[in-house]
Amino acid sequence: MGRLHWPRRVFAQLLLGQTVVTVGVTAVTAGLFLAPVSRELDRDAMQRALAIAQVTATDQDVARAAADRDPDRAQAIAERVRLASRAEFVVITDDAGIRLSHTDPARIGLRVSTDPEPALRGESVTAIQDGTLGRTARGKVPLRTADGRIVGEVSVGLSDDSIRRRLVSMTGGILLCAGAGLAAGTAATLLLARRLKRRTHNIAVADIAALLIEREAMLHGIREGMVALDPAGRIRLANDEALRLLALPDDCTGRTVDQLLPPGRLADVLTGRVEGADLPAVRDDRVLVVNRMATADGGAVTTLRDRTELESLVRELDHTRGLTEALRAQDHEHANRMHTLLGLLELGRHDQAAAFISEQSGTHAALAAAVAAHVRDPHTAALLTGKAAVAAERGVRLRVTPDSHLPDALLDPRALVTVLGNLVDNAVDALAAGGTVEVRLRTAGTTLLVEVADSGPGIPAELRERVFEEGWTSKDAPAHRPRGLGLALVRRLVGRTGGRLAVGTGPLGGARFTVELPEALRATDPPCATDPPNAAEPSCAAEPSRATAPVPPTDPLLERA
């Protein structure tokens, strides 16, 4: 005999499986229905036995026969009751539990096989018990005289065979109903299997499993994030890269985008509230490019590309290009100055040549000295020096305010470089016709305050919130990268550190961006009490109390409502 094989087609497996399940469920249901019916028949039999016993115990002839311990009279009454009620047995005992009647006369005078004590204490008892006549439903009641004295008990039993006959008579109807349910379930299964056969194009289960395995491998193997949404906007699929880029929990499936992401452009793009191709968005410190495509069922599939490293490289390229152009311009300017100096020397105007050299060298030295005097952090000082050279090439003057002070105590210099670099770039870009950008750095304990102001046209009040949105910009975007991400990154970074960011009108008439970064500096001890008197750079003289001096309360970021 050949070995039975499970069918390969989906519809055949469904038909066979559902048929087995339907048969099993029908059998279990019938069994579950018959079990309480059997218990109910047992209860009914016990109540009938109890009722017969109670009626028999009300006959005073029975009580007198038990009190007199007269087995002949008790046996006659018991047989009359048994035949009239069709009971299996009617047993009358005295107050010691000795039988005065029984269907088997040989057992009269013996103690009953079951415990008579509850009935002799005055209790009524019902039970299914095994006795000398087999398994019966029993009812036992105390036998009392007219004055209430208990003189024995009356025990009535109904045969288990009669209960089973009643159960068998009901089983036919139950099985008929179960058969009808089985037939209906089989017909419904057949219709469902035929429909599934059409929907699955009669594909084999092994092929479906292979397709699923390949899909999982493809989704989790690609380097782009992918999120699938159902028509209600709930996430039904997110690959590993999407979980990483969006910082989603592993149990995000079944939850909406608005429940998982904060309000903003990224959530709007994923849900379709903002439409377009290659839309930039920011998640924490990551720059993402998002594309969304609707599906036929009303859902959508969204792809995410991480442009963080590319954006950093592009910014570095822009900075490098700006520095290159600045160096080229300085080289050209240096050549012009050399020609001018040569001309002065050839004309014999040596005094004017010396003054010219002093003036040109003093300009760059003054800028470097100003940065070195107020900014002790090397990363920030290098950033400001480079930005000043690029700004000068574009006709913009970058200066550090005289009251600025930044010690070399930054916990995260890269964060300040990101914030300050984007703000300075934004200010320089706003000065197309030249002007001034002013940087102010102050400390209050471990809190760092950064202000960047320019002499440009400023930002209208109605646009002061929009400038921080991802992708929004008032300038033309270059071909190699989108604009509108710098200020968004600044806002995310400041928010993640628990700081605050504000924009308003500055002292130069243009825009002023003010940033508060709490816990940005290492706590330092007061230097004056322990500095040696002959120190090369005594901290009291070089950094007079500005590291811990409170900022005047007129600063809008420090005022409290």
Residues 453/505, Cβ–Cβ less than 8 Å: no
**400 or 128: which carries more pLDDT confidence?**
400
Residues 156/125, Cβ–Cβ less than 8 Å: no
Distance CA 304, CA 282 (A): 11
- pLDDT value of position 515: 92
- pLDDT value of position 14: 66
Mean pLDDT on 509-525: 84
Calculate the alpha carbon distances from 431 to 327, 396, 424, 482, 533 in Å: 21, 7, 11, 20, 48
DSSP 94-106: ETT-BBS--SSGG
CA atoms lying within 13 Å on the CB side of residue 253: 8
pTM score of the predicted model:
0.43
- pLDDT value of position 136: 81
Residues 242/257, Cβ–Cβ less than 8 Å: no
Distance CA 526, CA 135 (A): 99
Phi, psi of 290 (to 5 degrees): -115, 135
Pairing of strands 435-444, 396-400: parallel
Question: Of the candidates 106, 117, 113, 120, which has an alpha carbon nearest to the alpha carbon of residue 66?
Answer: 120
- pLDDT value of position 327: 66
Residues 423/513, Cβ–Cβ less than 8 Å: yes
Domains in the chain with CATH codes: 11-166 (3.30.450.20), 222-306 (3.30.450.20), 311-542 (3.30.565.10)
Residues 290/299, Cβ–Cβ less than 8 Å: no
From start to end of 295-418, where are the E strands? Answer: 300-306, 396-400
Lowest mean pLDDT across 210-224, 242-256, 502-516: 210-224
Distance CA 360, CA 345 (A): 16
- pLDDT value of position 174: 66
Distance CA 254, CA 257 (A): 10
Distance CA 73, CA 101 (A): 9
pLDDT in tens, 130-159: 766 677 888 899 999 888 899 999 999 887
Phi-psi category of residue 202: left, alpha or beta, with phi > 0 → left and psi -120 to 50 → alpha? left
Question: Of the candidates 95, 101, 103, 171, which has an alpha carbon nearest to the alpha carbon of residue 134?
Answer: 103
The first and second tokens of residue 58, run together, are 């009300």
- pLDDT value of position 438: 92
Question: Of the candidates 547, 486, 490, 484, which has an alpha carbon nearest to the alpha carbon of residue 516?
Answer: 490
Distance CA 257, CA 271 (A): 7
What is the residue-averaged pLDDT of the chain? 76
Phi-psi category of residue 245: left, alpha or beta, with phi > 0 → left and psi -120 to 50 → alpha? alpha
Amino acid identity of 97? G
CA atoms lying within 13 Å on the CB side of residue 462: 0
**17 or 115: which carries more pLDDT confidence?**
115
Distance CA 151, CA 267 (A): 88
Distance CA 269, CA 283 (A): 12
Lowest mean pLDDT across 31-35, 53-57, 129-133, 460-464: 31-35
Phi-psi category of residue 402: left, alpha or beta, with phi > 0 → left and psi -120 to 50 → alpha? alpha
Distance CA 347, CA 3 (A): 114
**75 or 165: which carries more pLDDT confidence?**
75
Question: Of the candidates 305, 300, 297, which has an alpha carbon nearest to the alpha carbon of residue 235?
Answer: 300
pLDDT in tens, 370-415: 787 888 888 888 888 878 877 877 788 888 898 898 898 888 888 8
Question: What single DSSP character describes residue 476?
Answer: P
Question: What is the separation of C-alpha 544 from the centre of its chain, rounded to a whole number of angstroms?
Answer: 51
3-state secondary structure 132-198: CCEEEEEEEEEEECCCCCEEEEEEEEEEHHHHHHHHHHHHHHHHHHHHHHHHHHHHHHHHHHHHHHH
Phi, psi of 464 (to 5 degrees): -70, -15
Distance CA 290, CA 227 (A): 11
Question: What is the separation of C-alpha 199 from the centre of its chain, rounded to a whole number of angstroms?
Answer: 34
Calculate the alpha carbon distances from 23 to 26, 34, 75, 172, 195 in Å: 5, 16, 54, 17, 21
Question: What single DSSP character describes residue 277?
Answer: S
Distance CA 433, CA 559 (A): 35
Residues 409/519, Cβ–Cβ less than 8 Å: no
Calculate the alpha carbon distances from 550 to 31, 106, 419, 446 in Å: 84, 114, 22, 11
